[in-house]
Amino acid sequence: MKAGHKRKGLVHVAATFAIAVATVAGGTGRLLAQAQAQAAGQPPSAPQDVFAFVRALDEAAARGVWPGFSPTGIPVALFDGEHTILLRHPSPPTEFSPMAGRPGVLFVNGRHSGVTGNSTREIGGVRTATVIATPAQPVERTMLAVVEEVFHVFWLARHPSFRPNEMARYAYPLDDVDNLGRLVAEDEALARALEAQRIDDAADWAAAALGIRRERVTRLAEDVRVYETSLEMMEGTANYVARVSVGEPASRTAERLRAPRPAEDIRWRFYDSGAALCLLLDRLSPGWQERSDRQPALTIVELMDAALRGRDTAAAGFPEAEMAGFQARATAGVADLGLRRGRLRAELLERQGGRVVIEVAAGAEPFRVQRFDPINLMVLDAGAMAHANYLSLGVQQGSVELTNPAFVRGSFGGTVSITEAAGRHPLSDGVRRLTIAGIQGAPKVGRGERTVSVEAPGVRLTLRDVETHVEGDLVRIIVKGPRP
């Protein structure tokens, strides 16, 4: 892109932000800012502009979704595909440059290292909401993501006890048909509660959902139960605030609860169940947010239990045929997961290109996971995991670092790795075997007195005291115990 075009794009972003600031400051500021922008020859904010997210931020403040939540005071960093835009930051890093004539707007070319996805990160020593806001992202999704991440910064400072342990997700019983069937039933009960016209019917279906859950979670391990609750508390509340802020009707959350989802997408299910419980609390226990802030250890399920105890509630129930239908869906979902797991493992083990296989000898310490992409992976059977994006492992004898040069979200193409667990947990107990498949070209192997190194696109490893065999494009390495 030419420099002039880049500058024009940045000016447009600045104009959009100026409109947002004016709107937050006063209701009539939007029209004034738009008129000023047009008079200066700058285009007003367009519906397809990804920075239309500011409307959601304005609504979050105007609607008073959560007491004390003021999104205008929380830093935001957005990557638009070419630049990282930093807004409202009290102490911006030196690599960001101010936009001439646009106070409060800073930018840096390319994607800043702190913006790895839709999340919150420390940037310049300050917790900052980060969002990928490229033109490929639907505006609605971007608006929801910005409010969600900004709310995370606000909410996590008040509720420090709820931090989902992602390691529990990788040990979640995905192939438990009974658990999945009951989850489907819970979802439907929550959806009916959201759709109920009468508040008593909403309460009855909410009670049904909680009753199903009480029976279901008794079979789960404690860390899995805590994981579910923490997700609903952290992600459910944030999604609730985002959806209310953009004016999304509760029926849309009901649709999400009913939408078919693969068995492995368990994490995102609790985004929706948590948001549903919050929306129901708005009807059954107005002002519940204030109590949540006063008693930050309370869960939204406990708040719902308290709300239902104060009413004459009789839990609704599903006919036997419907329950059988939920179980049938779960059976089909688990079977489908097994087939896809098997296909992926077989395809990776047969993938064309270079390959590196590293195995830890019996008695030697396993590799420890240092860094990995917690989203773009799939838990396979027998403690194995397929990693589509990046992974780094360490052991006393050295380290392995992997990055997929051909990574595309939602795909396992390119250079992908398979880890096999050293214990019961796929990652936290260590890795005993690593297979790197789909390497572009033959890996370059270097040998020293006691070390071996392997380099290839996206692959870098250095290990000591190992046994190495090279057979064409295949490199086999056995890691032995360290020398005394």
Residue 329 domain flag? no
- Shared domain for 356 and 284, answered yes or no, is no
Count Cα atoms within 13 angstroms, Cβ side, for 272: 26
Tens digit of each residue's pLDDT (9 = 90 or more) over 285-324: 999 999 999 999 999 999 999 999 988 889 999 999 999 9
- Shared domain for 170 and 310, answered yes or no, is yes
Rounded alpha-carbon distances, angstroms, from residue 59 to 63, 65, 241, 303, 403: 6, 9, 10, 26, 39
Rounded alpha-carbon distances, angstroms, from residue 431 to 23, 364, 375, 460: 53, 11, 19, 17
- Shared domain for 367 and 298, answered yes or no, is no
- Shared domain for 136 and 171, answered yes or no, is no
Q: Where are the beta strands (DSSP E) in 249-383?
A: 354-360, 368-372, 377-379
Full residue range of the structural domain in which residue 467 is found = 351-479
Residue 335 domain flag? no
- Shared domain for 288 and 178, answered yes or no, is yes
Nearest to 215 by CA among 323, 96, 308, 299: 323
- Shared domain for 358 and 470, answered yes or no, is yes
- Shared domain for 125 and 249, answered yes or no, is no
How do the pLDDT tens digits run along the chain, 484 residues long?
Answer: 444 444 444 444 433 443 333 333 332 223 223 323 433 333 333 223 434 555 566 666 667 889 988 887 889 998 888 889 898 899 999 999 987 666 778 889 999 989 978 889 999 999 999 998 887 777 778 888 888 999 999 998 888 888 888 889 898 999 999 999 999 999 999 999 999 999 999 999 999 999 999 999 999 999 999 999 999 999 999 999 999 988 899 999 999 999 999 999 999 999 999 999 999 999 999 999 999 999 999 999 999 999 999 888 899 999 999 999 999 999 999 999 999 999 999 999 999 999 999 999 998 999 999 999 888 999 998 899 999 999 999 999 999 999 999 998 889 999 999 999 999 899 999 999 999 999 998 899 999 888 999 999 999 999 998 999 999 899 999 998 765 5
Q: Which of 320, 337, 362 is the last residue of a domain?
A: 320
- Shared domain for 124 and 11, answered yes or no, is yes
Can you say how many angstroms the Cα of residue 43 is from the centroid of all Cα atoms in its chain?
Answer: 34
Residue 334 domain flag? no
Residue 154 domain flag? no
Other C-beta atoms within 10 Å of 27: how many?
A: 11
- Shared domain for 275 and 376, answered yes or no, is no
- Shared domain for 217 and 273, answered yes or no, is yes
Q: Which of 94, 125, 140 is the last residue of a domain?
A: 140
Residue 149 domain flag? no
The model's pTM is: 0.82
- Shared domain for 103 and 11, answered yes or no, is yes
Tens digit of each residue's pLDDT (9 = 90 or more) over 221-279: 999 999 999 999 999 999 999 999 888 999 999 999 999 999 999 999 999 999 999 99
- Shared domain for 374 and 229, answered yes or no, is no
Q: Which two tokens stand for residue 74?
A: 């929380």
Q: Which of 140, 157, 191 is the last residue of a domain?
A: 140
Count of domains observed in the chain:
3
* β 97-98/105-109 pair status: antiparallel
Find tokens 């630049």 and name the residue.
83
Residue 153 domain flag? no
Residue 250 domain flag? yes
State how far the Cα of 254 lies from the Cα of 233, in Å rounded to an integer: 18
